[in-house]
């Protein structure tokens, strides 16, 4: 499996108190591809995802061992600038987390927090570019003063993705981004993700195996906190190397 590595973990362990949630995870995630993390509920998928921008640091009684490299830099060292890290490694959550603000102010929010742009024209150009990227500019260009919560769930999730893109990330983490959406909206978001992979490294956690098969280039199967298998998505779904993977994918689990 030869590819340019964007994220790499070495012997990654994560404890919630005394509970070992991730066990000796070694994974190499490629650049400019979509990587899916699959596995049953409670197996550590979201926990692993949140390691890549250190969102787990916000949880009490967390202990992390091992190393996580992003472009060769170990992000677990104490000197890591977490604000910069979370800008470069953006996150999209399970349910659209739009703010109770206008569409314009939702999109401007991150720019203000990170003090990236001050000129009104530059801000407006960034907002237009972000909305263009997610296919919303034509729909929303005359509605930027409307409250973002008046949008459909699919539009809200696209808006959340645009909010991440405006900050010029390298990596986009998506934690079950379609679980609140209907099937038609889900397919539209998947289409968007496939378009974005030419510019970004995307890592998606999904409980939906069909979605992983449709949208991803590489797939990792996590079970009880351990990475059982990682490989090309076609290979994982048609010719898995591990019996446990085969049992999970075929529905004969346990």
pLDDT for residue 1: 58
Residue 110 · residue 104 · CB < 8 Å:
no
Q: Where are the domains of the chain?
A: 5-250
The string of pLDDT tens digits covering residues 92-144 is: 998 899 999 999 999 998 888 877 777 889 999 999 999 999 999 999 999 99
The string of pLDDT tens digits covering residues 97-109 is: 999 999 999 999 8
pLDDT for residue 118: 76
The string of pLDDT tens digits covering residues 222-241 is: 999 999 999 999 999 999 99
Report d(CA 201, CA 31) in Å as an integer. Answer: 5
- DSSP codes joined into one string, 27-89: EEEESSSEEEEE-STTSSHHHHHHHTTTGGGGSTTEEEEEEEEETTEETTSTT--HHHHHHHE
The string of pLDDT tens digits covering residues 199-224 is: 999 999 998 999 999 999 999 999 99
Q: Does the pLDDT of residue 187 top 60, yes or no? A: yes
pLDDT for residue 116: 77
Q: Does the pLDDT of residue 71 top 60, yes or no? A: yes
Q: Does the pLDDT of residue 3 top 80, yes or no? A: no
pLDDT tier, 251 (very low <50, low <70, confident <90, very high otherwise): confident
Report d(CA 244, CA 254) in Å as an integer. Answer: 8
Q: What is the CATH number assigned to the segment(s) 5-250?
A: 3.40.50.300
Q: What is the pTM (predicted TM-score) of this model?
A: 0.94
Which whole-number Å values give the CA distances from 6 to 31, 46, 75, 133, 142, in the listed order?
A: 5, 19, 13, 22, 38
What average pLDDT does the chain have? 94
Residue 151 · residue 107 · CB < 8 Å:
no
């Amino acid at each position: 499996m030869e590819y340019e590595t964007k994220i790499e973990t070495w012997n990654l362990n994560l404890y919630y108190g005394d509970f070992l949630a991730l066990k000796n995870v070694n994974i190499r995630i490629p650049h400019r591809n979509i990587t899916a993390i699959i596995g049953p509920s409670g197996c550590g998928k979201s926990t692993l995802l949140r390691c890549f921008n250190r969102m787990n640091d916000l949880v009490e009684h967390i202990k992390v061992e091992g190393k996580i490299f992003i472009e060769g830099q170990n992000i677990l060292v104490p000197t890591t600038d977490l604000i910069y890290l979370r800008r470069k490694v953006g996150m999209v959550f399970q349910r659209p987390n739009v703010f109770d603000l206008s569409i314009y102010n939702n999109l401007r929010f991150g720019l203000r927090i990170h003090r990236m742009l001050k000129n009104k024209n530059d801000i407006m150009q960034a907002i237009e570019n972000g909305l263009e990227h997610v296919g919303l500019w034509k729909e929303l260009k005359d509605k930027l003063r409307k409250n973002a919560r008046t949008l459909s769930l699919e539009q809200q999730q696209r808006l959340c993705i645009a909010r991440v893109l405006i900050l010029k990330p390298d990596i986009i983490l998506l934690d079950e981004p379609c679980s609140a959406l209907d099937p038609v909206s889900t397919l539209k978001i998947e289409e968007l993700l496939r378009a974005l992979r030419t510019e970004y490294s995307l890592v998606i956690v999904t409980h939906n195996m069909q979605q992983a098969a449709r949208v991803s280039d590489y797939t990792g199967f996590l079970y009880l906190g351990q990475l059982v298998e990682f490989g090309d998505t076609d290979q994982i779904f048609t010719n898995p190397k591990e019996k446990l993977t085969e049992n999970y994918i075929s529905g004969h689990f346990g």
